[in-house]
A and B are shown apart, each in its own frame.
Chain A
Amino acid sequence: MCSREYDVIVAGLGTAGAIALIQCARLGLKTFGIERINQMGGTGTAGGIGSYYYGSKGGMYEELNEKAAKLQEIYFKTNGYALPGAKAVVLEKEAIAAGAEFVYNAVITEVIQKDHKVCGVVYSADGKSTCLQAKVLIDTTGEGEVAQLCGCAFTKGRVSDGKTQPYTNCVFIADPAARIENKDAGHINMQDNTEMSNELLRANTLPFYLKDAYGKEKIYLTNAPFPGVREGQLIEGEEKVTLNDALSAKQQKNTIFYAYSNVDKHAKDVAFEGRQLKDWYLCAGLWSVNMSVAVPMGAVIPKGKEGLLVGGRALSVDCDIAACIRMKSDMEKCGEAMADMAYLAIRCDCRLKDVPYAKLKAMLEKTGCLDEKNNVGFYNRTKNGLEKVEWAENEKQLKEDLRGDRSGFGIWAAKKMGKKVQNKLAEWLDEGGDLAQNAAIALALSEDRRALPLLRKMAQERDMRIPKTGFKFVQTVGVTAVYLLGRLADTESVPILENIVQDHGACEKAAVVSDEMYTNAFDVAFQFYSNAVVALLDIAEQKEERKAEIFAFLQKQVLENEENAMMVTLKGGGCAADMANEIKAYVKKRISA
């Protein structure tokens, strides 16, 4: 028998959940929050990541940020940065003021369901179990822990290998500025306790932390109480937002907020990403381009369940766009929108998916959580700040872009323009220089094989030119060519690709060290090697007659090669990770498939 009944239970009082709790209570709902750690705000407070570079404006979180800024004066602050403790205090205070009840250091152990309707939870705290009933349950645990307990479907990671992007290990320090030191530490699987625990132990012994000697230059305060997971499992919702939706600026029905960021994936193993993301990252070099993405109501409603909303990091998106829809203010908006949905479902006595959108829209617009002004399209980060992206619409603009510093935008514009510019692109192949190379990349994206001779040359020469399109994570055109030779299933390039696999050491000698993509020559070698391996597999997959030969080559050169360490520096000056086993597992999987 459950001891108490609530309108709404919010599970997980992190970035989205704390806002959901406060908003539900402010709307007059009898609300209860359950949090695993000892404070609210999640990654944005206890996790130490007090500010995110992007995310869109508007919503009730802004009022809370203002209150936190006022309280901030009581907190130690140096170098313009302060630890985000004030926000946690404000969230807690506002929740109490609004009449919300909540419990800390508590874990949900059971979900009560009747048919497909979620009716309550059992949580454990202070060594005791408590059962609570609710009309709506909001799961903002980050990993969809509640939804998992009640059997909802999830997707996780990339199609190729199921891998999510790296997580961050966060430690609070004072040097003497009080701040967080967050380093990409590797990969973590939050659904497997043994794997997760072993990984966290390992992360504690990384050389950033476990030092031979500790000097006085830095004071280590404490570990963040949870790992900085950027991407976990994603709920299968009534609707799903995809990278394709975002790149095509799709207008969603029933939008609840607009997210805004670049596709900020920290993964260095770009070769194993999906085709569209590789086109965006590898061919156009547009990693640093921001975009607004509409998130619809259906993205927080898990398929086949009633009375349950799942948001925050676990909302229903594909794994590529998950890297874009994760900024702090966007997750806070998600929390607010879910609270409004729960309110309307209860007041209108309807299913969550039948919440009257006109009423919801009015509520969201009132606080600015939903604001058409946030539907800004694409913005590029430059030395002069953010500049609106204008895509070329005619041949003249296209040529200007392709021959200059905006080549990536030209490549993407050509992909959008499709057939009508292919012949012109082919003409530009003869003009040589950067224009010809960029035209070849653009042509290849339209599956036009006239690009092949130049692409082969770029790959063979390991061309180290790095276009100036983006400020970060732009690859050499040699690596781009390698990818495209596989994409076009070019059998003539097999010897070139095999040579790159056999002699990737030649790439290590290259003096290309640019930004976080190429921290050192090993990173360059890894990009050539991993993309050549994937290109060979792509060719084998499409050209049956070459399959046996390519598989035999990869068997010998990759799978049976015991000495091939492939060291990669994780983003943000993170740890060095040996990717050799990952590549082997990938090759093995594709060969056996």
Chain B
Amino acid sequence: MKETELFIVGATFAAIGIADALGKQTVIAEETCVLGTEFAAAFNQKEPKKITCFTESGKKLEKQLAMRGLLNPNGEIYAQPAVFVLAKACIRQQIQLHFNTLVTEIKKLENGYKVTLFNCDGYQTILAKQVIDTTSTGVFKNKKREKWICSAVAQNGQIKNEITDMQYIPIPLAESEGWVEARKKTLAYAKEKNAKIVMIANAFCYRDRVQPTEQEGVLWIPSDGFYNLLDAYEGGAAYVQQGI
């Protein structure tokens, strides 16, 4: 049976920040085959917030983003290219990442966890000393949060050709509403406002702030519970460095 020191659910910004800060042997399972969906694929644009990084991990990402022109002085971040930066961080840290992978069970043992995964290789079990869940609604989708659908739209048939001026429209969804309703609402919005849809997000957007909590022995640090992706990277790193 495969063993790892740290197992993280979700290839999120918080996840990679945590792995960076702990510097342990890390396995990450991600349900999709894209990194950082909680900010990039969800078009998750909250109010701009200037983040001050204290951890070495956060400072590293901040430097990378600033150097590449992805972070402006107001704290606004150009999310999609930040995913490419995140991929580089994953490779640098030698994280063992599994895309298209479901976590089907997490069982607490006396001195760690038994995690069951499913992907194209079939079912596998991993023994992990530590497990952290960074997904939006928890690995077993049992955490309640405010759900939104965000769309990139061009008002008056124009895209303002500046990175932080792309207009992302968030529309609230009820907990029970899924993708069919999300698309219907977006189309209705576009018709009403005479806006042209550039793209509807590929992931739901969760905009509320969430404090890390522990449930059944698994620490839940939802990446999109932070202000933005840099805050998530820094916040995840800071949280784990402070105590666990």
Contact = CB atoms under 8 A, between A and B. Distances in A.
Interface in A120-151: 124, 126-127, 129, 143, 145, 148
A227 interface: yes
B81 A220 contact: yes
Contacts of A75: 196-198
Contact of A225 (B41, B166, B183): B41
Contact of A76 (B70, B96, B159): B159
A107 B99 contact: no
Interface stretch (B87-95, B212-220, B236-244): B87-95
Interface stretch (B18-26, B49-57, B138-146, B222-230): B138-146
Nearest to A189: B120
Contact of B141 (A39, A85, A88, A126): A126
Contacts of B123: 109
A114 interface: no
Nearest to B124: A193
A219 B152 CA distance: 11
Interface stretch (A198-206, A399-407, A474-482): A198-206
B87 to A, nearest CB: 3
A74 interface: yes
A205 B180 CA distance: 33
B14 interface: no
Interface stretch (A207-215, A284-292, A508-516): A207-215
B121 interface: yes
Nearest to A86: B197
Interface in B114-145: 118-121, 123, 138-142
A215 B99 contact: no
Nearest to A145: B120
Given A145-B120, A178-B199, A222 B100 contact: no
A76 B154 contact: yes
A545 interface: no
A214 B141 contact: no
Q: How large, as a class, is the contact surface on chain A?
A: 35 or more
A83 B198 CA distance: 7
Interface string B138-179: 111110000000001110010101110010000000000011
A220 B163 CA distance: 9
Contacts of B91: 201-202, 205
Contact of B196 (A76, A89, A148, A215): A76
Interface residues of B, number: 64
Contact of B199 (A127, A191, A222): A222
Contacts of A145: 120
A68 interface: no
A149 B190 CA distance: 42
Interface string B51-93: 0000000000000000111100000001011011101101100
Interface in A83-128: 83, 85, 88-89, 92, 96, 104-105, 107, 109, 124, 126-127
B69 A214 contact: yes
Interface string A443-456: 00000000000000
B33 A226 contact: yes
B41 A200 contact: no
Contact of B88 (A96, A172, A210): A210
A174 interface: yes
B85 A89 contact: no
A89 B84 contact: no
B34 A77 contact: no
Contacts of B15: none
A39 B152 contact: no
A172 B41 CA distance: 11
Interface of B: 31-35, 40-41, 43, 67-70, 78, 80-81, 83-85, 87-88, 90-91, 96-102, 104, 118-121, 123, 138-142, 152-154, 157, 159, 161-163, 166, 178-180, 183, 187, 190-191, 196-203
8 contacts: A76-B154, A174-B152, A192-B121, A196-B33, A205-B84, A213-B68, A222-B80, A227-B33
A-B interface, 3 closest residue pairs, ranked by CB to CB distance from nearest: A204-B87, A127-B140, A76-B196
